[in-house]
Amino acid sequence: MNRTILVSAIGGDVGHSVLKCLLQEKDKLIGCDLYQFPVGLNVVDGFFTSLPALHSNYISHLLEHCKKYQVTHFIPISEPEIEVVSDNLEVFQKEKIKVLINQKEIIQYCLDKNLSAKKLKSIGLDVPDSWLADDFEPDGKKYIVKFIKSWGSKLLRVIATKEELEQIKKSFTQPLLIQEYIDEPDNEYTVGVFSDGEDIRVISFKRKLQGGYTKFVELINDETIKRDAMIAAKEFGLKGSFNIQLRKSNGRNYIFEINPRLSGSVHFRHLLGFKDVLWWLDSLDQFKLAEYKNPYSIAIGVRELNEKFLLVE
């Protein structure tokens, strides 16, 4: 069965990485992005400029192009898109378009950092201590301030004083979450987790960030990380893929975020045989999933810079 797959936000690191996972398949690829000339424009079979996810016509505009290109599967990439599509999933189902998206409850928990921290703690996993901004009193230690609902490393300020917190509160109207700062920047991990509802698969990388993006990854075979990831997948009832971010400190895995979507490291793991984009598609189509065995003990990955022309006359 050849599929026609729409991937949104192809100009971003996640969307472009998803495209790269699909390029060797026989499926027809359609891309969309807010910008007219995104990276990836030259590898898709069709493209359209999308509306912002919060635009009142976003869903109708999307469906119009899904019909035009006869889309069979849709992969929403960004959190705003995922949230809106989740709220309107029935219109895609009516058009027989299969959407790679997590269950609504997972999305609601993971997009709210306060809710996700409480959920993870309730199932016995380690999370940094957390407070709502109005309930927090600094004591000279380091804490991290983030929006309760955000994506793409927005805000993320390290503070130690009440004055610093008050200045941030004056600058932003969005609700804030204060978390204990796990001061282990060299022990940060990104964990890909896929489940078809029964079989749970996990891959872990130690990572280094540059400008909010994963620049460097090192494959890690850590049984405690795998254990915690499997606990989270079971307790959340995962059927699809999500990404766990954590820091290790004193032998404990402090989970500070779960992204309810495919992540920017998706192509890194795809290259090592962890093909969760393809597994998710096959799971939706009720195909038998390809077996996964990690044959690697050492793997170091880097994200490189690249230049290309999209259009030349």
Per-residue pLDDT tens digits of the chain, which is 313 residues long: 689 999 999 999 999 999 999 999 999 999 999 999 999 999 999 999 999 999 999 999 999 999 999 999 999 999 999 999 999 999 999 999 999 999 999 999 999 999 999 999 999 999 999 999 888 887 888 999 999 987 655 667 888 888 888 888 888 888 899 999 999 989 999 999 999 999 999 999 999 987 777 889 999 999 999 999 999 999 999 999 999 999 999 999 999 999 999 999 999 999 999 999 999 999 999 999 999 988 899 999 999 888 888 888 8
What would the two tokens of residue 193 be? 């987790």
Does this model's pTM top 0.85? yes
Q: Is the dihedral of CA 3, 59, 55, 259 positive or negative?
A: negative
Cα distance between residue 182 and residue 26, in whole Å:
44
With b for 16 or more beta-carbon neighbours within 10 A and e for fewer, the 204-237 pattern comes to: bbbbeeeeeebeebebbebeebbebbbebbeebe
pLDDT digits (tens, 9 = 90+) for 208-248: 987 777 889 999 999 999 999 999 999 999 999 999 999 99
How far apart are the two ends of the chain, measured CA to CA in Å? 36
Q: What 8-state DSSP symbol labels residue 45?
A: S
Q: Going by CATH, does the domain composed of 4-101 fall within 3.40.50.20?
A: yes
Which residues on adjacent β-strands are paired with residue 190?
A: 205, 245
pLDDT at 88: 97
Q: Going by CATH, does the domain composed of 184-302 fall within 3.30.470.20?
A: yes
Q: Token match 């049984």: residue?
A: 223
- Asked if residues 179 and 268 have their Cβ atoms less than 8 Å apart, the reply is no
- Asked if residues 126 and 254 have their Cβ atoms less than 8 Å apart, the reply is yes
DSSP per-residue string spanning 254-291: EEEEEESS--TTHHHHHHTT--HHHHHHHHHTTPPPPP
pLDDT at 308: 83
Pairing of strands 157-159, 28-33: unpaired
Domain ranges (residues) in the chain: 4-101, 129-180, 184-302
